[in-house]
Amino acid sequence: MRLDAPITQDVLTLPRKLAEGGKRNLVGLTRAQMADALVAMGTPEKQAKMRVGQIWQWIYHWGAQDFEVMTNLAKGYRAQLAEQFEISRPEIVTRQISEDGTRKYLLRIAGGHEVEAVYIPEESRGTLCISSQVGCTLTCSFCHTGTQKLVRNLTAAEIVGQVLVARDDLGEWPIPGAPKDETRLVSNVVLMGMGEPLYNFDNVRDGMKVVMDNEGLSISRRRITLSTSGVVPEIARTASEIGCLLAISFHATTDEVRDKLVPINKRWNIKTLLDVLRDYPRLSNSERITFEYVMLKDVNDSDADARRLVKLIAGIPAKINLIPFNEWPGAPYQRSDWARIEAFSDIVHKAGYASPIRTPRGEDIMAACGQLKSATERGRMSRAEIAAQAGG
Ligand code: SAH
Ligand code: SF4
């Protein structure tokens, strides 16, 4: 389905696909892992690399969901594959489409857990925001996800699966023989959904390697942005092992305020974080880092904050993304006034940094950053607990 058709708000509940028990999912395996799995099944070692190439193309280029369609593999071999493996994705529980075309998916994964992914269409690109964990171990006081305890890390299959599900739903797989469509619906991926991606490093890395692979989904590392609250020891590895763009949830210009907003700051403070960030663009061969800054009324939005911010990041190639706070029921903060956000943006801009104000998208379906939260109530903190963490 293309997005140029007028879309009205709809809520769709799709039929559940029954999980086939006990089979290993090929989605999310690295090429080496897939080769090992095929050899273990009896594929001669000499052939494994070629078979991986064939299967890989079916899964990630054509969007195949079963082995039957893999016509360049012998019938017997396809049957053998089907006996041992599956090609499965998270299942869509509900899909909501906003008036502005934003799509929010609630996805069910093994164990009955739920995570969200959001597709945001723009004029010349489409961005898919994906989750890396169910819940989050961190407790940023302005974030809805932070009120939910960590349930578990997503597997590489579940991380890649979110991209596959979006392409299925958008009808974006190529049709054999049809002229090549150069416009991509899912052209960019951001790890800005639920969870802290750097606390699930290996699965995020493996998943992104699959997403970047040229013979499959082929989304370049410059079109993938990983957002972290500031897990300092993993940042250099992100540069060397993933090489994607980096966004930092900065949000404050003094340790005192950042300790309250982003409590991981108590472990790695602003100076420690900035020191490691200075090396990132060179190590990852990327141009600049995005500093995310949520605008909270009377908390972090003064002119003095804006001036301190540009001083702190001096020397780091950067863009500052100002995010009007997305309020959620019970949140202990308010969104800064529009005039205040613009004044803040002006100061940053005059200092030579791009300082776009993120337009709220999909507000009617609560699809914005920080509002993603599964329907799972388990582990939810009380309002009093949130307020206590926020410093009362
Ligand atoms: N855990 C990672 C990625 C997920 S959060 C991180 O913290 O960076 C993605 C972005 O949304 C972060 O910048 C986060 O600080 C921001 N965010 C969270 N809650 C928000 C809210 N209620 N309003 C606006 N932005 C929010
Ligand atoms: Fe976790 Fe990011 Fe939310 Fe902080 S902002 S609680 S790190 S998801």
Considering the domain architecture, whether residues 77 and 97 belong to the same structural domain is answered as: no
Number of structural domains found in the chain: 2
Considering the domain architecture, whether residues 75 and 127 belong to the same structural domain is answered as: no
Residue 2 in domain: no
Place of tokens 């003095």: 304
End-of-domain residue from the set 44, 60, 87? 87
Residue 141, annotated as binding a ligand: no
Residue 338 in domain: yes
Report the C-alpha gap between 106 and 118 in whole angstroms.
9
Question: Cα(192) to centroid of ligand 1, in Å?
Answer: 7
**Cβ within 8 Å of residue 295, ≥6 positions away:** 301, 322, 323, 324, 325, 335, 336, 340, 341, 344
Q: Determine the residue of 134, 294, 299, 361 to mutate for testing ligand 1's pocket, defined as the one with the most ligand atoms within 8 A of the Cβ atom.
A: 294
End-of-domain residue from the set 87, 102, 118? 87
Considering the domain architecture, whether residues 136 and 257 belong to the same structural domain is answered as: yes
Percent of the residues in the chain that have a pLDDT greater than 70, as a whole number: 87
* pLDDT at 88 > cutoff 90: yes
Q: Determine the residue of 289, 369, 371 to mutate for testing ligand 1's pocket, defined as the one with the most ligand atoms within 8 A of the Cβ atom.
A: 369
Q: Which of 294, 371, 322 is nearest to 96 (CA)?
A: 371
Structure tokens at 164: 């596959």
Considering the domain architecture, whether residues 100 and 46 belong to the same structural domain is answered as: no
229 C-beta closer than 6 A to ligand 2? yes
Q: Determine the residue of 257, 273, 290, 323 to mutate for testing ligand 1's pocket, defined as the one with the most ligand atoms within 8 A of the Cβ atom.
A: 323
Residue 8 in domain: no
CB contact at 8 A, 216 and 57: yes
Bridge partners of 246? 226
Considering the domain architecture, whether residues 251 and 315 belong to the same structural domain is answered as: yes
Report the C-alpha gap between 77 and 84 in whole angstroms.
11
CB contact at 8 A, 134 and 203: no
- Report the nearest atom of ligand 2 relative to the CA of 227: 2
Q: Look over the chain and give the mean of its residue pLDDT values, rounded to a whole number.
A: 88
146 C-beta closer than 6 A to ligand 2? yes
**Residues annotated catalytic, as ranges:** 116, 369
Residue 85, annotated as binding a ligand: no
Residue-number span of the structural domain to which 144 is assigned: 91-388
Q: Which of 256, 250, 319, 248 is nearest to 287 (CA)?
A: 319
Considering the domain architecture, whether residues 101 and 235 belong to the same structural domain is answered as: yes
Query: Residue 65's domain is classified under what CATH number?
Result: 1.10.150.530
191 C-beta closer than 6 A to ligand 2? no
Per residue, the 3-state secondary structure of 52-107, as one string, reads HHHHHHHHHHCCCCCHHHCCCCCHHHHHHHHHHEECCCCEEEEEEECCCCCEEEEE
| Tens-place pLDDT, residues 239-292 | 999 999 999 999 999 999 999 999 999 999 999 999 999 988 877 777 799 999
Considering the domain architecture, whether residues 339 and 382 belong to the same structural domain is answered as: yes
Query: Residue 137's domain is classified under what CATH number?
Result: 3.20.20.70
Q: CA of 276: how far to CAs of 80, 200, 282, in Å?
A: 49, 19, 11
Average pLDDT over residues 317-341: 94
| Tens-place pLDDT, residues 135-194 | 899 999 999 877 888 889 999 999 999 999 999 999 999 887 777 766 789 999 999 999
Bridge partners of 249? 292
Judged by its nearest atom, the ligand closest to the C-alpha of residue 145 is 2
Give burial (CB, 10 Å; 0-12/13-18/19+) of 13. exposed
Q: Look at ligand 2, atom 4, and give the residue with the nearest C-alpha.
A: 140
CB contact at 8 A, 301 and 341: yes
161 C-beta closer than 6 A to ligand 2? no
AA identity, residue 368: A
Percent of the residues in the chain that have a pLDDT greater than 90, as a whole number: 75
- DSSP at 198: G
Average pLDDT over residues 8-17: 39
| Tens-place pLDDT, residues 90-111 | 999 999 999 989 999 999 999 9
Residue 227, annotated as binding a ligand: yes
Report the C-alpha gap between 266 and 169 in whole angstroms.
42
Please give the pLDDT value at position 257.
Answer: 98
Residue 15 in domain: no
Give me the phi and psi of 354, to 5 degrees please.
-65, 135
Q: Look at ligand 1, atom 21, and give the residue with the nearest C-alpha.
A: 370
Considering the domain architecture, whether residues 293 and 183 belong to the same structural domain is answered as: yes
Considering the domain architecture, whether residues 76 and 152 belong to the same structural domain is answered as: no
Q: Look at ligand 1, atom 24, and give the residue with the nearest C-alpha.
A: 325
Considering the domain architecture, whether residues 135 and 62 belong to the same structural domain is answered as: no
Report the C-alpha gap between 248 and 38 in whole angstroms.
39
* pLDDT at 75 > cutoff 70: yes
326 C-beta closer than 6 A to ligand 1? yes
Residue 129, annotated as binding a ligand: no
End-of-domain residue from the set 38, 68, 87? 87
DSSP H helices in the chain: 31-40, 45-56, 75-84, 156-170, 201-212, 235-237, 255-261, 270-277, 280-284, 303-312, 338-350, 383-389
Residue 294 in domain: yes
Buried b / exposed e along 203-241 (16+ C-beta atoms within 10 A): bbbbbbbbbbbeebbebebebbbbbbbbbbebbeebbeb
Residue 14 in domain: no
| Tens-place pLDDT, residues 339-392 | 999 999 999 999 999 999 988 777 767 666 555 554 443 334 444 444 444 443
Considering the domain architecture, whether residues 195 and 297 belong to the same structural domain is answered as: yes
* pLDDT at 67 > cutoff 90: yes
* pLDDT at 12 > cutoff 50: no
- Report the nearest atom of ligand 1 relative to the CA of 371: 22
Please give the pLDDT value at position 18.
Answer: 39
